[in-house]
Structure 1
Amino acid sequence: MQRQWTAPAPADRDDGGLPVLPELLDSFVAAAGHTAPQPVGGSAELRSAACGYWSRRGLWTDPEHVVVAPGAEPLLLALLASAPGGDVLLPRPCAAWYAPLVRLVDRRAHHAPVPAECGGLPDPFALLETARRIRAEGGVPRVLLLSAADDPTGTVAPPELLHEVCEAAVAEGLLIVSDETWRDTVHHPQGTVLLSPAEMSPEHVIVLSDLVSAFTPAGWPAAIARFPATERGAELRGRVLSLLAAVRSGLPTSIAAAAAYALGEPEPVRGRMAAAARAHGAVAAAVYRALTAVGALARPPQAGRHLYADLDELRGVLAARGITDSVELERELVRRIGPSVAGGHRFGDPPHTLRLRLATLPLLGAAEESRLRALQAPDPLELPHVATALADFETAFRDLIEDGPVP
């Protein structure tokens, strides 16, 4: 039976989330009585916790090179507004919230296509061509925004491609902003090599990470940024802090306390992160199998809570149902399976393409109790509520392909 839903808002995050880790909640509650505001850019304690987090990933950092803000969106907005004027280059597809922020600071966004084998990084040759085209049209390419562990595609860029992209960006004089929000959600860490652009071009890379991906609930916004240890990095960090201070964009005390606890990565946090990655990985793999079984094209998901599919091979079948672009494809699938679907037009792909992003979180359960059971299960696919959700998903796609034309 099909369910009726209204179209989803063009957001880049799922509603709700996983149950709050009890130890994280304890740190949040313990700080609730503190009335003194947090300093803009983060307290010394919180910035030191961020340094420890990055050092454990091979990126040595001093607290004076770190900025903390209430969410990745205000942090990236301040960063784009502070960077030298010029155009911004984005992968195609990319996270839905990138391009609107570029437009908000009156910059032009230019998309460069990603290689067939992964998302998150533009093809290095396409990147060079895009930068040269911008100059030929009188523009000035200044910033490249990328993500090695990618939303929307759920893929991880191979190190050799990352190296080529960094070389091309540096050769073109681009400041690289590396969105590493999803680096701690890799489904199989032992078999996946994930490097940061900051390991390859430390003087040219700002690392940005939204903690709500792996550490904190969506309702507790917190993000961290690591600036290069250079004169240029210090100047840019100072401008970002000035902008954040102008709009009083500091973290609430309770969220700051929870973020510091999470960034310390005690055993409960590490256990939750591993359980979440395992559960999302299992469900994403099942979704991938269901999509490819009906003829959709997709890359095997490696990280995060989403995967990206291309239904162009089914264009003739879908056209018979009145579906000719990603807007119509999204509308029909939202009607069939709910607001876990977003058309590729939201992520920079042209509307005429038949691409979409699918979220795995709803398949783990509608209620927090159900999602917690999925995290704790050795194999979440064996849980009845997960198996039922996946069966409904498969049926919806099969019926979409096999149903007759729209009356």
Structure 2
Amino acid sequence: MTSFTVTPPSPNLALNQLVDRRRAAGDRLVHLAFGEARLPVLPQLAEQLALGAARASYGPVAGGAGARAAVAGYSTRRRLPTEADRVVLAPGSKPLLMALQLVVPGDLLLPRPAWNSYAPQAVYAGKKVFGVPVPAECGGIPEPDALRSAIRRARAAGGDPRLLVLTLPDNPTGTLAPPALIRELCALARAEDLLIVSDEIYRDIVHDPESTAFLSPAEAAPERTVVTSGLSKTLGLGGWRIGVARFPPGDTGALLRDAVVAAASEVWSTLAGPMQQVAEYAYAEPPEVVARMRDSARLHGAVARAVHRIAVDAGAHCRPPTGGFYVYPDFEPLRPLLAAHGVTDSASLAARLLDDSGVVVLGGHLLGDDPHALRFKAATSLLYGDEQQQRAALRAADPTRLPHIAGELSQIADGFARLTRPRGAS
């Protein structure tokens, strides 16, 4: 019998389907296990989608000239001077990340914890994955000395680490790496000849951009950094599947871009024409798009901070969120109390929250974290209610005071408090 490369289904997608089934059966669940930006679609984007309906031909694999130029302009406005020929569009950033795993030789260096798709993609590409723990102060990226040690250990074990994936702001911790640390990592990448993939899909969801400095690795090491992004998070278009990649300048960047385009030609052919119409409009950043990104970042920040306060009030350690829509609490201070109720690791912690309180989270073990730790990811972006409630949340001075969001936050607080109570206790 032929053997196959098999990995479990994506755990966040599996949990999302579980929630849908249980809600259909009448269960009241608070869903914190799926990183979807549940926001209403901007009417102008829907208009562009309709206008693009006639774009039914395949078109260029890398994307049409107009859409690529718009992405180049978006990047240039973010201190990343970009020519349109260094941009590739795809049906979501996920295929671009997979294509990079396929065409870049060697093994993968990955922060621990990290988004749950990076490691399985590397396995499908035949790579080994070497995890590097992330200290709280590092904003979701490895501390340089720890990364250097991991590279040495990987090579001593017969590995060939060539690729480093970073996420800025970070998923799952909801934090952002400081510029000085990015510069150190980029210097190390040069010294060790690593290619950096900077996943910046949350770049426009920095909660306080006026006081939070963002440095892309593509600024500090432009010749060896690929930036991936998309419209799933900033504009809530996850189901439309619009992803982009920006490749480095120079000959190496051109060869890498050509390799990804060749892979794309055999896998997804091109981004659908109507979605290219949307991308061209959105990445030009007309006023209504800029306003929506600003309002959504404010909403995400307010609700993430509220869940952070709940976790800290419950006795957990938790890094203050500064970007995206995640918090990553650590209930280690409560380990003796939790152990008395059978909670000894991240899997049992997530199970108790679901069974006792209807709070659904993604255990840290599913993100490459130490399975014995008492950590999980909580995605706060599904707390905004139905479409009408989402619009109200975007407008509200304090969205956490809206009844529907306040009710969800109350159930989360009760769920966290119940963790250390005997089962059945009120």
Report the TM range for the smaller structure's normalisation: over 0.9
Distance of 1:173 and 1:187 partners within structure 2: 33
User: How far does residue 334 in structure 1 lie from its aligned partner after superposition?
Assistant: 2.7
Distance of 1:87 and 1:393 partners within structure 2: 39
Aligned twin of 1:322? 342
Contact 2:172-2:327 within 8 A present in 1 as well? yes
Contact 1:120-1:147 within 8 A present in 2 as well? yes
**In structure 2, do the counterparts of structure 1 residues 113 and 198 end up closer, same or farther at CA, with 3 Å as the change threshold?**
same
Distance of 2:390 and 2:236 partners within structure 1: 16
User: How far does residue 148 in structure 1 lie from its aligned partner after superposition?
Assistant: 2.6
Aligned twin of 1:360? 380
**In structure 2, do the counterparts of structure 1 residues 198 and 95 end up closer, same or farther at CA, with 3 Å as the change threshold?**
same
- Map 1:96-111 to 2 at 5 A: 96-111=116-131
**In structure 2, do the counterparts of structure 1 residues 383 and 195 end up closer, same or farther at CA, with 3 Å as the change threshold?**
same
Which among 146, 166, 172 is matched to residue 186 of structure 2?
166
Distance of 2:259 and 2:297 partners within structure 1: 36
How many positions carry a matched residue from both structures?
Answer: 399
- Map 1:57-96 to 2 at 5 A: 57-83=78-104, 85-96=105-116
Q: Deviations over 1:90-131 (max 9, x none)?
A: 011111111010101010011111122143311100100011
**In structure 2, do the counterparts of structure 1 residues 80 and 165 end up closer, same or farther at CA, with 3 Å as the change threshold?**
same
Distance of 2:87 and 2:130 partners within structure 1: 28
Give, as a single letter, the amino acid of the residue that structure 2 aligns with 1:246.
E
Give, as a single letter, the amino acid of the residue that structure 1 aligns with 2:348.
E
**In structure 2, do the counterparts of structure 1 residues 385 and 10 end up closer, same or farther at CA, with 3 Å as the change threshold?**
closer
**In structure 2, do the counterparts of structure 1 residues 16 and 185 end up closer, same or farther at CA, with 3 Å as the change threshold?**
closer
Aligned twin of 1:29? 50
Give, as a single letter, the amino acid of the residue that structure 2 aligns with 1:56.
R
Fraction of identical pairs, as percent: 45
Which range moved further: 212-221 or 352-361?
Answer: 212-221
Contact 2:40-2:236 within 8 A present in 1 as well? no
TM-score w.r.t. the length of structure 2 is 0.90
User: How far does residue 37 in structure 1 lie from its aligned partner after superposition?
Assistant: 2.1
Q: Deviations over 1:42-93 (max 9, x none)?
A: 111111000010011010001111111111111111111111x211100111
Which among 55, 80, 85 is matched to residue 76 of structure 2?
55
Distance of 2:321 and 2:12 partners within structure 1: 25
- Map 1:3-402 to 2 at 5 A: 9=14, 13-14=34-35, 17-83=38-104, 85-336=105-356, 338=358, 340-365=360-385, 367-402=386-421
Distance of 1:14 and 1:340 partners within structure 2: 12
User: How far does residue 38 in structure 1 lie from its aligned partner after superposition?
Assistant: 3.2
Distance of 1:216 and 1:291 partners within structure 2: 26
**In structure 2, do the counterparts of structure 1 residues 339 and 54 end up closer, same or farther at CA, with 3 Å as the change threshold?**
farther
TM-score w.r.t. the length of structure 1 is 0.94
**In structure 2, do the counterparts of structure 1 residues 57 and 340 end up closer, same or farther at CA, with 3 Å as the change threshold?**
farther
Report the 3-state secondary structure (helix = DSSP H, G, I; strand = E; otherwise coil) of the residue aligned with 2:204.
Answer: helix
Report the 3-state secondary structure (helix = DSSP H, G, I; strand = E; otherwise coil) of the residue aligned with 2:88.
Answer: strand
**In structure 2, do the counterparts of structure 1 residues 58 and 284 end up closer, same or farther at CA, with 3 Å as the change threshold?**
same
Distance of 1:326 and 1:77 partners within structure 2: 28
**In structure 2, do the counterparts of structure 1 residues 258 and 355 end up closer, same or farther at CA, with 3 Å as the change threshold?**
same
**In structure 2, do the counterparts of structure 1 residues 168 and 16 end up closer, same or farther at CA, with 3 Å as the change threshold?**
closer
Q: Deviations over 1:223-252 (max 9, x none)?
A: 111111111111111111011001233111
Distance of 2:36 and 2:301 partners within structure 1: 19
Report the 3-state secondary structure (helix = DSSP H, G, I; strand = E; otherwise coil) of the residue aligned with 2:226.
Answer: strand
**In structure 2, do the counterparts of structure 1 residues 376 and 405 end up closer, same or farther at CA, with 3 Å as the change threshold?**
closer
Q: Deviations over 1:247-276 (max 9, x none)?
A: 233111111111111111111111111111
User: How far does residue 216 in structure 1 lie from its aligned partner after superposition?
Assistant: 4.8
Report the 3-state secondary structure (helix = DSSP H, G, I; strand = E; otherwise coil) of the residue aligned with 1:91.
Answer: strand
Contact 2:38-2:384 within 8 A present in 1 as well? no
Give, as a single letter, the amino acid of the residue that structure 2 aligns with 1:122.
P
Give, as a single letter, the amino acid of the residue that structure 1 aligns with 2:109.
L
Q: Deviations over 1:139-172 (max 9, x none)?
A: 2110111123111100011111111111112111
Give, as a single letter, the amino acid of the residue that structure 2 aligns with 1:42.
G
Contact 1:151-1:304 within 8 A present in 2 as well? yes
Distance of 1:23 and 1:153 partners within structure 2: 32
**CA RMSD, aligned part only?**
1.9
**In structure 2, do the counterparts of structure 1 residues 329 and 382 end up closer, same or farther at CA, with 3 Å as the change threshold?**
same
Q: Deviations over 1:279-337 (max 9, x none)?
A: 11111111111110111011100111111111111111111111111111112223355
Distance of 1:15 and 1:141 partners within structure 2: 31
User: How far does residue 376 in structure 1 lie from its aligned partner after superposition?
Assistant: 1.2
Which range moved further: 332-341 or 92-101?
Answer: 332-341
User: How far does residue 388 in structure 1 lie from its aligned partner after superposition?
Assistant: 1.2
User: How far does residue 16 in structure 1 lie from its aligned partner after superposition?
Assistant: 7.1
Give, as a single letter, the amino acid of the residue that structure 2 aligns with 1:399.
R
Contact 1:152-1:307 within 8 A present in 2 as well? yes
Give, as a single letter, the amino acid of the residue that structure 2 aligns with 1:9.
A
Aligned twin of 1:3? none
User: How far does residue 338 in structure 1 lie from its aligned partner after superposition?
Assistant: 4.5
Distance of 1:73 and 1:270 partners within structure 2: 24
Contact 1:296-1:312 within 8 A present in 2 as well? yes
